[in-house]
Amino acid sequence: MHPSTATLVAYRDRELGEKPARKVKLHVEACPKCAVALERLMEDWDLLLAAAKDLHTQAALAPGGIERLRSAMECWAQPQPDGEMKRRADAHLQFYFGAGAAAAVKTPASLAAIRPMLDTFLGRKAASAVVRQILDGEDRRLCPVPGA
């Protein structure tokens, strides 16, 4: 049986245990279809990281970049929401980006900080839908971004 996309993402991110990782490795080595799927996931991840880095560089150099940074830092100081928002964020973000990325989102402000990556990867409409699902039942106000 072929590993799911989620399993291949977890394997790519080295998030599987030793035995499951070995099983996936052996399968991918023997299955050209899964080897291609894993390679595409790795290439897509590299493109996404490059796009995110470029977006962050552009944002930092853009007019008002320091003010946006200051505002984002103030948002980080806000209290963390209850565990329910974190649980929803974990579920959605693990599916798309793996557990490492999901662990980085602890507050609505940190969700706002990764919004450009969500927009790049999913498209604006889908990213908006994911953010709404994560924030459902929470205060839907994300920290305002000056100049955005």
Structural tokens at position 69: 């940074």
State residue 137's pLDDT score: 47
Cα gap 65→28, rounded to integer Å = 44
Boundaries of every domain in the chain: 1-46, 62-148
Query: By the 8 A CB rule, do 144 and 71 touch?
Result: yes
State residue 24's pLDDT score: 94
pLDDT at 45 over 60: yes
Say how many C-beta atoms besides its own lie within 10 A of residue 135's C-beta. 18
- Residues 6 or more apart whose CB falls under 8 angstroms from that of 46 comprise none
- Quick one: DSSP state of residue 106? -
pLDDT at 144 over 50: no
User: pLDDT category, 61, cuts 50, 70, 90?
Assistant: low
Q: What is the dihedral sign for C-alpha 36, 40, 41, 42?
A: positive
* pTM (2 d.p.): 0.42
Query: By the 8 A CB rule, do 116 and 52 touch?
Result: yes
